[in-house]
Structure 1
Amino acid sequence: MNRLRAYWVGQAKWWCSRSLEWWAAHLTVLYIGGAITIMGAKFDQLISLELNEIGDLAAGAFGPVAFLWLVLGYIQQGRELKLSSEALRMQAEELKRSVAQQCEIAVAQKTSLQNYERTLEPLLNLEVSGADWSEGEFYVSLKISNTGDYCESVIVKLIATDNNEKSADPLMSGASCSVRFDDLHEWEDFEVIVEYKKRSGASNAQSFSVVSYHEDGYGYNYYVRKHPFLS
């Protein structure tokens, strides 16, 4: 009993798995075969029909078949449009993923380039090596040390009541240079901006605030604070 039921279940699955095209083709063959058989059985009556009657007979006999295949064509066209829409949707998703991946790669490359540029930065330190009167003018001597990478085209700008700037020698790693600014107001606060060009050719700057203070028993002196420059 179980084998018989399994057989019929298998048959039902097989018949249900057939496509519409398969059913339409077989039904068309059966229909046309039946129509030809019937017309063959009534051949004597068929040949006695007028031409317009034969046309009406053909239209009535084969019209359902033509309508069946017309409907099937619309169904097939709908399937193809659905498949085409699905393919376009998948292509759009793939393009979206590709664009997102390219954006991630671009961000990673930009980050890598920024990290590389940071490794080329000089690490500058500023000291006030001297501040006093000389020949009726108050001067400040600055010492700039480099513990980072090589830089050149060094320009030291002093921002105070009267701005001034001076060029300095290229700074190798571990090297230092000194610049002197004259005709300043006595013990005034000021800022120093050191502009330079890195080995990569990119330009940058580092800045410092220089603030005077008074200490009992020692007089006036300067305190230097470096501003952050790495973003």
Structure 2
Amino acid sequence: MISTQTPTQGRWLYISGGILSAIYLSSLGAYVLFNWQKICGMPANEVGDFLAGAFSPLAFAWLVLGFIQQGVELRQNSAALILQAEELKSAAKHAGDMVELQRKDLELRIEELEKARTKAQAVAEENARRLEAIAVKKAQPSFSFGLFQRDSARKKYAAGRLSNHGQSCTNVRLEMDQVPTVIALLGTTEFEKFDSELSVEIKMFSANSQHTHPLVVHYTDSLGTQRSQSFIVSSQSDYVRIVESSTQN
């Protein structure tokens, strides 16, 4: 803060000037008093010259004192301006430091908000994927084959049932590479619609020997997506077993 006290520097000039002026005027008064008769006898122009010469030193002294006092005031004003400039510089530096701290705090908050947003987005995406997976799983059929019993008269022919314990589906098609004299699907192998808990008979030709063969059930789930379920056909001498080999695609 700039000091508001009244400056005392240079006051001694007024005191010194007053003392010197008093001494000078006293001396001048004493001179006039002792020379009064002579002064009274002087012409008016000489009296004027006398007074002008008598008061000129005093006027010149005060003129010098005035210049000195002006210099003192200028120095005081300069010092005050320098102090004010220093305070402004300090205030500007402090304000700059505060702005920098606020900027860093803002950046930290933005970073925290971005991390929170990213985390929330990741959680939301994970929840969406989980819900989608649940919805997809609920929309799938669940096919299974019962044990295929061989015909008592024709041992190379077997019959079993294909059941759906999941959701209804459409465009069901059984696909298995036919191997002549070894294995082949017989009868109906395509179904336009396969309702939930529906069970249909499936027939096949299978040589009366031990062998395995892949079988795929293609379908369109209730969401309209084409998928498939894979199985393995295992032929034995008395029966044919079909078991799931992998999850749905």
* Percent of paired sites with the same residue: 13
Task: Tell me, yes or no, if the aligned pair for 1:156 and 1:168 is still in contact at 8 Å.
Answer: no
- Classify 1:139/1:39 alpha carbon distance in 2 versus 1 (closer, same or farther; 3 Å): farther
1:62-89 C-alpha deviation (Å, 9 max, x unpaired): 2122112202211221111111111110
Size of the aligned set, in residue pairs, is 193
Give unmatched runs, 5+ long, in structure 1: 1-26, 215-219
Matched, 1:148 2:166: yes
TM-score by length of 1: 0.66
- More strand, by proportion: 1
The one-letter code sitting in structure 2 at the alignment partner of 1:145 is: S
* Equivalent residue, structure 1, for 2:96: 77
Cα offset for 1:50? Answer: 11
Provide the rounded CA distance (Å) in 1 between the counterparts of 2:170 and 2:135.
18
Q: Deviations over 1:26-63 (max 9, x none)?
A: x22xx2x23x6447957987962699997666433321
Amino acid aligned to 2:230: S
Structure with higher Rg: it is 2
C-alpha RMSD of matched pairs (Å): 3.8
Residue in structure 1 matched with residue 127 of structure 2 by the alignment: 108
Question: Normalization by structure 2: what TM-score?
Answer: 0.62
Kindly indicate whether structure 1 or structure 2 has the higher relative contact order, using CA contacts under 8 Å at least 6 residues apart.
Answer: 2
Q: Is the 8 A contact 1:130 1:140 kept in 2?
A: yes
1:211-222 → structure 2 map (5 Å cutoff):
211-214=234-237, 220-222=238-240
Shift of 1:157: 1.2
Worse-superposed segment, 202-211 or 49-58: 49-58
> Alpha carbons of 1:47 and 1:186: their partners in 2 closer, same or farther (altered >3 Å)?
farther
Residues 1:51 and 1:38: Cα distance change in structure 2 (over 3 Å): closer
User: What's the offset of the Cα at 1:129?
Assistant: 4.0
Q: Determine the C-alpha separation between the residues in 2 that align with 1:89 and 1:227.
A: 53
Indicate yes or no: 2:87 matched with 1:87. Answer: no
